């Protein structure tokens, strides 16, 4: 039976790349420990959702640039936030050089795949306004006793677009209120 050392080879060593950018040596990490790998995936995936839980795909690139600098290099960001990192990396040759090296790494392809899976999972399991409406209707039905009519309504509503239902529920009271105020 082969050992891991034999398979990896006698001269195998995890080595990071060092490159000169604007006269400064920058280390580009070519491998990650499990904690940093998980932090990168979670940072990007979680950043793709706003405070209301809505999916915002445009946030992915913003978070991606941040994690490339924060986790894949030895560049000290100090107290620079995500927004500032995004601004200073736009159209810059120094960031393009780093990003090109990082995105060619086998581990980066694995990160992107894990981020996609995390986003898909969050989208599938996220609760919507329609889900909340269904819970309220279900609780109401339990209190009523004869639920045959409500079961028929719920069955018909299951095929409806949740955004359209919520919009219809919200817009009618708003339109009536505007008419009364005139």
* Confidence at residue 155, expressed as pLDDT on a 0 to 100 scale: 72
User: Distance (Å, rounded) from C-alpha 179 to C-alpha 182?
Assistant: 6
Classified as helix, coil or strand, 53 is coil
DSSP letter at 18 equals: E
Burial 166-176 (b: 16+ CB within 10 A, else e): eeeeeeeeeee
Distances from the Cα of 22 to the Cα of 58, 68, 77, 94, angstroms = 30, 18, 17, 8
Place of tokens 């992107």: 112
47 close to 62: Cβ distance less than 8 angstroms: yes
Distances from the Cα of 108 to the Cα of 38, 42, 103, 175, angstroms = 12, 14, 6, 50
Kindly report the pTM of this predicted structure.
0.66
User: Distance (Å, rounded) from C-alpha 48 to C-alpha 146?
Assistant: 43
Q: Are strands 17-21 and 24-28 parallel, antiparallel or unpaired?
A: antiparallel
* Confidence at residue 176, expressed as pLDDT on a 0 to 100 scale: 52
182 residues of the chain, pLDDT tens digit each: 988 877 877 666 678 999 999 999 999 999 999 999 999 999 999 999 998 888 999 999 999 999 999 999 999 999 999 999 999 999 899 999 999 999 999 999 999 999 999 999 988 876 666 766 777 777 776 766 666 666 776 777 677 777 776 776 676 555 555 555 55
* Confidence at residue 85, expressed as pLDDT on a 0 to 100 scale: 96
């Amino acid at each position: 039976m082969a050992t891991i050392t034999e398979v990896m080879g006698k001269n195998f060593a995890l080595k990071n790349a060092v490159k000169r950018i604007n006269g400064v040596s920058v280390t580009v990490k070519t491998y990650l420990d499990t904690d940093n790998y998980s932090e990168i995936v979670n940072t990007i995936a979680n950043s793709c959702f706003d405070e209301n839980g809505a999916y915002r795909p445009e946030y992915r690139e913003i978070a991606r640039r941040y994690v490339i600098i924060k986790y894949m290099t030895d560049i000290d960001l100090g107290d620079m936030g995500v927004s500032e990192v995004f601004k200073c990396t736009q159209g810059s040759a120094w960031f393009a050089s780093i990003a090109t090296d990082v995105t060619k790494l086998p581990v980066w392809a694995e990160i992107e795949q894990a981020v996609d899976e995390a986003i898909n999972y969050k989208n599938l399991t996220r609760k919507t306004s329609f889900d909340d409406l269904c819970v309220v209707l279900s609780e109401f039905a339990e209190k009523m006793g004869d639920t045959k009519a409500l079961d028929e309504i719920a069955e018909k509503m299951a095929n409806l677009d949740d955004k359209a239902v919520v919009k219809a529920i919200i817009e009618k009271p708003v339109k009536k209120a505007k008419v009364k105020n005139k």
